[in-house]
Structure 1
């Protein structure tokens, strides 16, 4: 069974770097012809994606502008681990050859990027940045929750619209391939989209005499993307290793005692490398030069992070604010203090 994708999907390929370099929006004002020319030259798109790109250039611009948010969230979630969601500035895609391996890290990247696209487009719709969408038009009239009746008002975030567009655009290449890796990507893409919707919350404003809340006006709002990132990180920890079923139409667990994956789980085929040393084939950049915590016993410890190679210690001086005092009414004055501290970094492989 070939588990390598015949082509990394658009938003993880050189196309995403291409979009990121053009998020200033200058070329989107070239008109319909300009949009068509640029969409035709984005690498990695299939015909359906090019068509959607031509029809919705502002949406493409919003996706490009939001890329840094989900990459930043990925790097936050793994900042103290051997694999820290590092990106490659000069590779054929943002994560190098890492994504050619059907590992749980690849599963997380697909899920967090799919979630990031949904979150970005939902927010852009509510903020009036796109002509193709706005607030959720279905949230009208009255409804009920555990606290009683309320009136829909304000601007409910239209997450369903963002999910539909994201699915149509992002999943297009995977649906065309339909091999084992494509099915894995589709599953993790969907898990990412569902994670954003999972944390939509009902926010309300009370009306009535003396704040009695006799009438409530409510709307559905996106949660901070950190909640989605935290959720997907937990799913990464509990990701299910799977194999293709005998019909090639779905998954079965790789081991009998493993749980059957739900639609919210992340799935992967291959074991991960240890990420200790630089290995171009696996996409590992190694941990040489990474900062570690000498006193920790967790994954950020020098013992774990440096994979037994040892670490170097450097004495550095850092300036911090100290002896801060509050002055009436509205000022805080601090001194600049120099602090000497040791920084430990993993030795490179020999």
Structure 2
């Protein structure tokens, strides 16, 4: 995972030279280093896009014991979390692979890359349920994004053949195809008063949140697997469960409970995390605090209230002050709950 997570340094490639930067990104295998040196502009796009998928991961797990963060100062962002072949690692690989596709595809459409542009195959006439239309505008070249992401991201996993490598390759593919799943047709009408006598259409990626929501659902239904006897694929760990499809996330090891700070597992623990007293879900104090209890602090907040629309064209609000209770998880009290290093 160091491979993907360090690519944020790609923004400096143009200034320092591709060879110097690519040789100093830890964890790259030869194929990745070659791609990095050959296409420094693509690496910059991936670097900019990495912030997006990290934020999406943290959004999806903001009310979860593991909130997509890791031990401070860990240069791989998710650190040791991804060393364990858990469902959290499955999600991280899938969302980061999707993020690489999204970043490259967007850069192609915006004319930022020398090696790609709009989808060259979307030309001429086509039709949908509303009738015929002309391809026009700039269709997102998602197939190129998928092709480059597959070559770059999968290269590290293809260097070895074990259960973890197969797991990563499978989840990488799930992430790539999730972006393509939500491609949408956008059209512009032509004719008198926009009557849509003629339409010009193009394919565009949906907001990345759709991909994040989809992969989070796949995380919830992820399938535990083991490597089959000939080492070419998976067998279900529990024979009573269904076999995973190509769109399911898969994992090999159970997750830690993330209740305690454990550097070896990449867990920050839940001490000090804000929880909801009234919820019985993952954000609820009983679940989030792992039965340790919680502290309550009364705080004052200023919010906008009594907002009115004023012609034309502004909204005027008052600043209203309210007092609310904030609940945070207690720290462990017992000796066997101390930090594990």
User: TM-score with structure 1 length normalisation?
Assistant: 0.92
Kindly report which structure 2 residues correspond to 1:34-183, keeping only aligned pairs within 5 A, or say none. Answer: 34-183=17-166
Indicate the residue corresponding to 1:287 in structure 2. Answer: 270
Partner SS state of residue 150, structure 1: strand
Indicate the residue corresponding to 2:313 in structure 1. Answer: 330
Indicate the residue corresponding to 1:28 in structure 2. Answer: 14
Indicate the residue corresponding to 1:236 in structure 2. Answer: 219
| Structure 1 contact 9–174 (Cα < 8 Å) conserved | no
Give runs of ≥4 in structure 1 deviating > 4 Å. none
What does the per-residue CA deviation read over 1:63-117, in whole Å, with 9 as the maximum and x for residues that have no partner? 1111110011111111111111114441252112111111000000000000011
Deviation at 1:188, TM superposition (A): 0.1
Indicate the residue corresponding to 2:170 in structure 1. Answer: 187
Structure 1: where are the runs of 5+ without partners?
Answer: 1-7
| Structure 1 contact 9–173 (Cα < 8 Å) conserved | no
Q: What is the root-mean-square deviation of aligned Cα atoms in Å? A: 1.4
How many equivalent pairs are there? 333
Deviates more, 1:144-153 or 1:89-98: 89-98
User: TM-score with structure 2 length normalisation?
Assistant: 0.94
| Structure 2 contact 71–267 (Cα < 8 Å) conserved | no
Structure 2: where are the runs of 5+ without partners?
Answer: 334-341
Partner SS state of residue 60, structure 1: helix
Relative to structure 1, is the Cα distance of residues 182 and 38 closer, same or farther in structure 2, using a 3 angstrom cutoff?
same
Alpha-carbon separation, structure 2, partners of 1:263 and 1:307:
34
What does the per-residue CA deviation read over 1:275-319, in whole Å, with 9 as the maximum and x for residues that have no partner? 111122222211100000001121111111111100001111111
Out of 4, 13, 18, which is 1:11 matched to?
Answer: 4
Relative to structure 1, is the Cα distance of residues 185 and 9 closer, same or farther in structure 2, using a 3 angstrom cutoff?
farther
Out of 295, 299, 318, which is 1:312 matched to?
Answer: 295
Partner SS state of residue 281, structure 1: helix
Indicate the residue corresponding to 1:4 in structure 2. Answer: none
Partner SS state of residue 254, structure 2: coil
Alpha-carbon separation, structure 1, partners of 2:72 and 2:128:
48
Deviation at 1:9, TM superposition (A): 5.4
